Homo-oligomer: A and B are copies of this chain.
Amino acid sequence: MNGQATAWMDYHARSSGFGPLSIFIRKLLNRSMLSANDQSAIAALPLRIQSFRADATILREGDRPGLCPILLAGFVYRYKLSAGGGRQIVALKMPGDALDLQSAFLHTADHNIRTVTAATIAMVPLADVEALVQARPAIARAALIDILLEGSISREWLLNIGRRTSEQRVAHLLCEIFYRADEIAGLPIADFDIPFTQEQLADLLGLTPVHINRMLKSLERAGAVERRGRRLFIRDLAALETISDFSGLYLHRSDLADNRY
């Protein structure tokens, strides 16, 4: 397990101002306008901070949760299992993401959520979240944008898994991870350490660990990535983008501007 939190992952935990949920608020502000009052209202949500170890289960398929977990630090993923025991990771969540905005509306969880690394999570009662979004349309809008963005990423993953070669898939995923992490942490790319084991990369991409290993080797030969010890770094982002046919459109980064104007 690669579960130790590397430096960049805690980057944002430092810069606060609205208490533990600061990072969540900042993430929403990336794509939505929120008034000072809206921000305070979020910060005032009742919550319980909970720590998880690496490889811990947060939500199980079939659960009917009463709490809305918000990820403050660490990495977490959604996954599903097939009958044969195959595991597919269907979404990746980073610090600042709400992990289950869905259960207020679709009551039964349709997937599992698990930690990659050690993680800190704020648990907010669903009822309070519901009251908040009812009282404050701007927050409801921001949450919806978050949901829509996750949908867009799912679609890109379908293209990635369905139609790209394994080397392209790996390269594409690395690009996405970098750009998404960059949005919250803005760390120099040379220090950016991809926090996944090869087995997890395999589950993210619908491949086998063995094959991931070979593709990483191939990407390293191409000078696109570098492996030091057990760690994986991006060495040439442009090369990764070329290899994988990456276009950042699906991350809707331009909507930052749009929603603020």
* Interface residue ranges of A67-89 to B (CB < 8 Å): 78, 80-84, 86-88
Task: Give the distance in Å from the alpha carbon of A255 to the alpha carbon of B64 in the complex.
Answer: 12
**A90 at interface, CB cutoff 8 A:** yes
Of chain B, the residue at the smallest CB distance from A259 is B105
Contact between chains at B88 and A159 (CB < 8 Å): yes
Q: Which residues of B contact A258 (CB under 8 A)?
A: 107
Q: Which residues of B contact A91 (CB under 8 A)?
A: 155
Contact between chains at A61 and B249 (CB < 8 Å): yes
Contact between chains at A147 and B151 (CB < 8 Å): yes
Contact between chains at B145 and A252 (CB < 8 Å): no
**Number of identical protomers:** 2
Which of A81, A106, A156 gathers the greatest number of chain B CB atoms within 10 Å?
Answer: A106
**A126 at interface, CB cutoff 8 A:** no
Chain A: interface residue total (CB-CB under 8 A): 52
Contact between chains at A205 and B162 (CB < 8 Å): yes
**A132 at interface, CB cutoff 8 A:** no
Stretch of A40-48, A134-142, A188-196, A225-233 that contacts chain B: A134-142
Contact between chains at A159 and B90 (CB < 8 Å): yes
**What distance in Å separates the Cβ of A131 from its nearest Cβ neighbour in chain B?**
12
* Interface residue ranges of A211-261 to B (CB < 8 Å): 245, 249-250, 252, 254-255, 258-259
Contact between chains at A148 and B80 (CB < 8 Å): no
The one of B90, B144, B164, B206 in contact with A86, judged by C-beta atoms closer than 8 angstroms, is B164
Q: Which residues of B contact A110 (CB under 8 A)?
A: 152, 155-156, 249-250, 252
Task: Give the distance in Å from the alpha carbon of A106 to the alpha carbon of B163 in the complex.
Answer: 25
Contact between chains at B249 and A62 (CB < 8 Å): yes
Which of A78, A140, A148 gathers the greatest number of chain B CB atoms within 10 Å?
Answer: A148
**A154 at interface, CB cutoff 8 A:** yes
The one of B90, B111, B137, B249 in contact with A108, judged by C-beta atoms closer than 8 angstroms, is B249
Contact between chains at B159 and A157 (CB < 8 Å): no
